[in-house]
Structure 1
Amino acid sequence: METQQQIDYHRIAEAIDFLKTHFREQPSLEAAAAHVHLSPYHFQRMFSDWAGVSPKQFLQYLSAEHAKDMLRHGNATLSDTAFETGLSGTGRLHDLFVKVEGMTPGEYKNGGASLQINYSFAESPFGTLLVASTHKGICYMAFADDGQEAAFRELQSLFPNARFMQLTDSIQQNALFIFGQDWRKLGTIKLHLKGTPFQIKVWETLLKVPPGALSTYAGLATAAGHPGASRAVGTAVGSNPVAYLIPCHRVIRATGETGQYHWGALRKSAIIGWESARHTQS
């Protein structure tokens, strides 16, 4: 059975899809509320509680014009100028990821035979998550859209020889504080990743894109030290094993279109808008 938070997310996601589709018509509050079968009053209140801003304000963050504006003014690059957008120092989440460690060749080759992996399920503003960790850090996080059993099978397929235990540990709890935005509780978030050296480099570069900012695939390729390798970088971004914490949702097309996302284009738009709304006000 879905939680109230999940029900609210699905309603807001449906509203976001409606606003995106009809953006150029600038739909009214009444029209958006009617689309998700709520009164304007309840829709306004639910949306504001979820996003921290009104539906009207949120609309501008989701528009292609907003993304293009960020690109034109440099906020979509990986340079330090991205921090001049009003983001607070505590919003520099990539600073918290001080250690990104790739698995050893042996761990990579043998499917994690020497690894003990703890995993648990948790709720986020964007749906149920499966989060998994080794003793070194978070190794996997994904949205469990097809149910917990299917999500666990996907995790097992990445580490077929590892030992698994359903256990919520401090590494997982610390990482999940990111959704609550209680920065005082955030310690150092460590990642223990299974990937090629090229993938690890791309994922590490992704961590430097701050909340509320965006990058293009070409910009990410340049920042990773591989200019001209946009296609390969795109493949590495699509192979990201840690949803949200490694912010592949912050990479968009050069045209300003949000593009695809492993966990759904609609969810990508919702996350971009949620981050933009909250961090622009921080």
Structure 2
Amino acid sequence: MNEQENINYNRIAEAIDYIIQNFKEQPNLDAVAEKVHLSPFHFQKIFTEWAGTSPKKFLQFVSIEHAKKILKETQSSLFDTAYETGLSGTSRLHDLFVRIEGMTPAEYKNGGKNLVINYSFAESLFGHIAVASTLKGLCHMAFYTDEKQALETLKAKFPNAIFVRKLDLIQQNALFIFQNDWSRLNEIKLHLKGTDFQLKVWETLLKIPMGQLASYGDIARLIKKPNASRAVGTAIGSNPVAFLIPCHRVIQSTGAIGGYMWGTTRKTAIIGWEGVTSNPEF
């Protein structure tokens, strides 16, 4: 992402944040464009280039009322059927057949001792992203604003590992998704550090079809722990692989977007982008 693209992303992120805060007033094109200090024509152009749809349609999709509508749909038997069969309608992400291979108890306990972890930094539609992998698979993917802090966060998760700055094939296959290239998703494996409960929650998140949303209660019910919504929320909040494990598709039962480790503005942007990507006629 060059400097101008970064400026445009920040402007669009600011616009999305403004829409979130003022969705009840349904701000028009002129109002949002003025907020980010662009002419309506220029704002419409770069927003459409970035999001793949017009600001008006994007607002319609990410509005709270629309989120409620989607959430209601995902609570229906259609969502249960999609989950149980592994199908997701028109979602291309249903082809994501990620095999989660949890670290052994010994690896978990010793902080990754003797593990060699390759890591690199890349650009995505939604900002800077750090990605890391072991010989077994992808172990980390996170959005960041400061590269040094991003590396420190990664090292804190595996304090005894050996780190090498290197972009390998595992990372490349994962990053292709940000280029709208889903062709290599079946080659991705995840090598994750987590408890059995966390691994089960993360694996369940992979079943939420692209362009649809679920609540924390939905996830708790699907893992046969209907009273564990709070624990599910904690597990989701510790998701180590942003975007690929779609914790951004989980919202509150009220329809509110809810929190996100990498910011609610980014979460809303991803939901909107997936919505217009999986429903191009919208």
Verify the 8 A CA contact 2:112 2:161 in the aligned structure 1.
yes
5+ unaligned residues in a row in structure 1: which ranges? none
Distance 1:56 1:115 in 2: 48
Distance 1:98 1:262, change over 3 A: closer
Distance 1:45 1:86 in 2: 32
5+ unaligned residues in a row in structure 2: which ranges? none
Aligned residue number for residue 247 of structure 1 = 246
Verify the 8 A CA contact 1:75 1:81 in the aligned structure 2.
no
* Aligned residue runs from structure 1 range 1-282, under 5 A: 3-74=3-74, 78-81=79-82, 87-88=89-90, 91=92, 93-145=93-145, 147-281=146-280
Report the secondary structure of 1:79's partner residue: helix
Query: Does 17-26 or 32-41 show the bigger shift?
Result: 17-26
The amino acid that maps onto 1:130 is: A
Distance 2:240 2:184 in 1: 24
Query: Does 122-131 or 272-281 show the bigger shift?
Result: 272-281
Distance 1:109 1:81 in 2: 36
Distance 2:89 2:43 in 1: 28
Distance 1:24 1:203 in 2: 33
Deviation at 1:5, TM superposition (A): 2.7
Distance 1:190 1:278 in 2: 24
Verify the 8 A CA contact 1:133 1:140 in the aligned structure 2.
yes
Q: Deviations over 1:233-253 (max 9, x none)?
A: 000001111111111111000
Verify the 8 A CA contact 2:120 2:165 in the aligned structure 1.
yes
Compute the RMSD of aligned alpha carbons.
2.1
Deviation at 1:86, TM superposition (A): 8.9
Distance 2:133 2:79 in 1: 28
Distance 2:7 2:97 in 1: 31
The amino acid that maps onto 2:155 is: Q
Distance 1:86 1:164, change over 3 A: closer
Q: Deviations over 1:41-82 (max 9, x none)?
A: 111111111111100000011111001111222368852358
Deviation at 1:88, TM superposition (A): 2.6
Report the secondary structure of 1:56's partner residue: helix
The amino acid that maps onto 1:229 is: A
Q: Deviations over 1:80-129 (max 9, x none)?
A: 3589x99535x1x2432331110011111111012110000000111101
Verify the 8 A CA contact 2:70 2:212 in the aligned structure 1.
yes
The amino acid that maps onto 2:128 is: T
Report the secondary structure of 2:187's partner residue: coil
The amino acid that maps onto 1:17 is: D
Query: Does 174-183 or 185-194 show the bigger shift?
Result: 185-194
The amino acid that maps onto 1:43 is: F
Distance 1:196 1:14 in 2: 37
Report the secondary structure of 2:139's partner residue: strand
TM-score (norm 1): 0.93
Distance 2:217 2:137 in 1: 29
Deviation at 1:266, TM superposition (A): 1.2
The amino acid that maps onto 1:79 is: D
TM-score (norm 2): 0.93
Distance 1:99 1:45 in 2: 40
The amino acid that maps onto 1:80 is: T
